[in-house]
Chain A
Amino acid sequence: MRYLITVFLIVFGQVVVAQDWEDHQIFNAENATTSLRIVSSTDTDLFAPLIEAFVAKHPDVGVDYFVTGTAEIDRLFRDKPKAFDIAISSAMDLQLKLTNDGFALRLNGVLHPEWAQWRQSLFAFTSEPAAIVINKAAFSGYPIPRTRQELIQALRARPEAFRNRVGTYDVRKSGLGYLFATQDARASETFWRLMEVMGSLNVRLYCCSGEMIDDLITGRISVAYNVLESYAAVRAESQNALEIILPSDFPTTMMRTALVSRDTLVPQQAERFIQHLVHQQSGADKAASSPLPLLGGEAGVDRATIALEPALMTFLDALKRAKFLSEWTSALIQD
């Protein structure tokens, strides 16, 4: 961490307009002549190694790393395209729509496989499956469910054990949660049945994977559905209490994506950062280790099932979204 200064800053009085950041860190402030402003949905501790490797290679570039939710990134980017240089988000659909709407800069210098980029503007750099994470304590003496169907059966078998103790994304607030839910709904009717069961158990709704995992560890909930496997894996290592299940009936795997703002003032540095990002995450550089899953995926994890294509915009349509949310609400929130 030679070039790195980690500074936690209070929210007010920043260059960027007052904003409720989940986190904000500045890398390599002392040597930097230019600065990249990155707005991201990825937790700093997961992403920091990538930034540190970048500033080590480019000592003249500093990085301003802001963390917020996926829906907020989309809103910020649309409101003020000049305010940030790079957007990194796990919500593929929102990122694709940003690109489709012309907010992304075309980067011809980035070499990336066809399936992992869109319009040479939006670049995927991880492959991350959605997982069911359980607190093992809740299943002691019972078989661990391996599919959604088995989870439904397990929940139905012991409703009292799980009442108020199941959690999933609040798709109204989380872009990633909405993406996972819509893709699940597209894949199978099982999703709706699971939602109805979870609804009947008085489901807890979360904004983020991190909080769900926190509550799993404390034992506040026993089952979390559609948690990011990458986040859970980091915590599961230290917490023996958790078990991560990748549903074997159908996997839902998303790709974390990055794009450079059309209005960036430092296009060259931004392009270099994206090049660095996709190179590190391609696994070509064996020495570089990243806490984030590689794009090629690890053994047993197939290529992303959610493709980067215009169809991702389908569920972002206002009418479609309203319909989906009303169905989701009626299934999950049973007053």
Chain B
Amino acid sequence: MDNPTVSGSLRYRLGLTLIGGAAVLAVLLFFAVRSYAVQVAQQGQDNILVASVTSMLDAAAIRDNAVEVDIPYAAFSMLTTPADDRVFYAIFQDGTFLSGYRDLGYLGPDAGLENIFGFANVRGVLVRQVSASRTLIGANKRTEVQIVLAQTQDALSATLDQISRNAALLGVGFFALAAALSVWATAATMGQLDRLTTSVTRRGPQDLRPFKNSVPQEMAPLVQSLNSLMARLDQSLSQSEDFIAEAAHRVRTPLATVRSYAEATLQRVDKEENREAMRSMVKAIDESSRAAGQLLDHAMITFRADHLEREDINLVELVRDLVLRMTPIAEMKDLSLSVQGDGSVPYAGDAILLQNAVRNLVDNAMKYGPAESLIDITVRAEPHPHIMVIDRGPGFPSHEISTLTLRFKRGQNAENTIGSGLGLTIAKDVAFAHGGGIKLENTLKGGACVTLSLSS
């Protein structure tokens, strides 16, 4: 069988797409959480800086015509952080430096406006600074006090590092979860395809019924095509079986007529050479007739195997009945048939098919068994129901045992015997239809032994 051309894998493609998407989302999540944390943390620091600078401005007053800023102890105390951040400040009056750190520059606008935040580099470190101002009105002058307050960001960085670590953990966790879900989703999706594949594979060679199991919407067209393909196949198969049956039937009837003419003619012909020719003719006609019969049997079996009609039967009774009907033919060949084994083997199977199969086996045994010999037919229930037919003939050629059950295959030693080669094939098909099999072997004395076993 040709292997299909494989290009890529749906499973990998689906899995990679889902996992890749999860990775991208996890990274986005990490950066979103981190940038939000940066905002919140910076907002927190800014709020404290504003509170501090406001309390300092509140402590500003004009006394004796001079600006006094009585910095509250709490103003710097509230800037205490776990990382001991450094604090810088500068106080200006109308742009003139009053006290604090000279390296800080006032960034703010005129008094009364919003506080101005910014980053600056003071003494080699990055600081967050806020500039704020307040207008003081003295007895005879207006003046503006401006304060710049700056703080390093060690605690903030520590917090952000912590948050980043947590965000990274969150991202990794999210990714792991999403990846696991992707794998599961991929497996679940592919599982549907696998299930369909299994149910197609598991079907018997003759089973061409449409699939009835429910499948996901996306797979419905595939199953539909499959069903319609099988319907067409089934139709063409049954057409050909019908054709074979029809053809065999049509051939058999005229053959019978020809045979009766030939028999009649044989009676009237005296010349020995002509009689011999007529005998050969009758023999050939018999052979054709038998082949046509077997073709008919085979077609019937093929049909019935698909729609097995099981009923409770007794295999021993079935075999005895058959033997009774075949005894006249056997006696004509000086053969005797003997049925042995268990007294009763009940079995649920198709009686017509089983009879057909056993008849073909006994037929074969009678064809190859030498005159005045015995054919043993044994029926047993253990270990599973089986029927064994043994003759006293030459047995199967050992190198052909494995191929003999193929259609139209005949043994090399069968050249002098009438037959189509369908007998064993029919027996095998019947055994398969009943969940069993057929086994060919030779007995120690050289006779052929065929065992038709059925499922228990």
Q: State the A residues within 8 Å of B (CB).
A: 99-102, 114, 118-120, 186, 309-314, 317-320, 323
Chain A contacts for B73, CB-based, 8 A = 186, 311, 314
| Cβ contacts A to B, 12 pairs, < 8 Å | A100-B87, A100-B88, A119-B83, A186-B73, A310-B76, A310-B77, A311-B77, A314-B71, A317-B71, A318-B98, A319-B99, A320-B69
Chain B contacts for A313, CB-based, 8 A = 76, 87
Residue contact A319 to B91, C-beta cutoff 8 Å: yes
Which residues between 102 and 131 of chain B lie within 8 Å of chain A, taking CB atoms? 123-125
Residue contact A119 to B86, C-beta cutoff 8 Å: yes
Residue contact A319 to B124, C-beta cutoff 8 Å: no
CA distance A120 to B86 in the complex (A): 12
Within 8 Å of chain A (Cβ to Cβ): is B75?
yes
CA distance A207 to B5 in the complex (A): 99
Chain B contacts for A320, CB-based, 8 A = 69-71, 99
Residue contact B87 to A310, C-beta cutoff 8 Å: yes
Chain A contacts for B71, CB-based, 8 A = 314, 317, 319-320
Most buried by B among A119, A186, A314: A314
Question: Closest residue of chain A to B88, judged by CB?
Answer: A100
Within 8 Å of chain A (Cβ to Cβ): is B43?
no
Within 8 Å of chain A (Cβ to Cβ): is B74?
yes
A-B contact count (CB 8 A): 63
CA distance A309 to B80 in the complex (A): 6
Chain B contacts for A311, CB-based, 8 A = 73-77, 80
CA distance A118 to B79 in the complex (A): 13
Q: How far is the CB of B133 from chain A (nearest CB, A)?
A: 16
Within 8 Å of chain A (Cβ to Cβ): is B254?
no
CA distance A206 to B211 in the complex (A): 109
Question: Closest residue of chain A to B87, judged by CB?
Answer: A310
Question: Closest residue of chain B to A122, judged by CB?
Answer: B84
Question: Closest residue of chain A to B80, judged by CB?
Answer: A309
Within 8 Å of chain A (Cβ to Cβ): is B100?
yes
Residue contact B68 to A319, C-beta cutoff 8 Å: yes
Residue contact B99 to A314, C-beta cutoff 8 Å: no
Further contacts, 17 of them, CB under 8 A, given A119-B83, A313-B87:
A99-B86, A114-B82, A120-B84, A309-B77, A309-B80, A310-B77, A310-B87, A311-B75, A312-B76, A314-B71, A314-B72, A314-B73, A317-B71, A317-B100, A318-B99, A319-B70, A319-B71
Q: How far is the CB of B196 from chain A (nearest CB, A)?
A: 66
What is the interface size of chain B, counting residues whose CB is below 8 A from a CB of the partner?
Answer: 27
Question: Closest residue of chain A to B74, judged by CB?
Answer: A311
CA distance A186 to B83 in the complex (A): 26
Chain A contacts for B74, CB-based, 8 A = 311
CA distance A99 to B73 in the complex (A): 19
CA distance A188 to B72 in the complex (A): 15
CA distance A102 to B122 in the complex (A): 10
User: Are A310 and B79 CB-contacts (below 8 A) given A319-B69, A323-B68?
Assistant: yes
Q: How far is the CB of A111 from chain B (nearest CB, A)?
A: 16
CA distance A312 to B73 in the complex (A): 8
User: Are A310 and B80 CB-contacts (below 8 A) given A320-B70, A323-B68?
Assistant: yes
Q: How far is the CB of A104 from chain B (nearest CB, A)?
A: 11
User: Are A309 and B76 CB-contacts (below 8 A) given A318-B99, A319-B91, A319-B99?
Assistant: yes
Name the 3 nearest CB pairs between A and B, nearest first.
A318-B99, A311-B77, A119-B84
CA distance A53 to B85 in the complex (A): 34
Q: How far is the CB of A209 from chain B (nearest CB, A)?
A: 25
Question: Closest residue of chain A to B79, judged by CB?
Answer: A310
Question: Closest residue of chain B to A114, judged by CB?
Answer: B82
Chain A contacts for B79, CB-based, 8 A = 310
Q: How far is the CB of A205 from chain B (nearest CB, A)?
A: 24
Chain B contacts for A318, CB-based, 8 A = 98-100
CA distance A176 to B71 in the complex (A): 20
Q: How far is the CB of A311 from chain B (nearest CB, A)?
A: 4
Residue contact A323 to B76, C-beta cutoff 8 Å: no
Question: Closest residue of chain A to B122, judged by CB?
Answer: A102
Chain B contacts for A114, CB-based, 8 A = 82
CA distance A66 to B86 in the complex (A): 29
Q: How far is the CB of A316 from chain B (nearest CB, A)?
A: 10
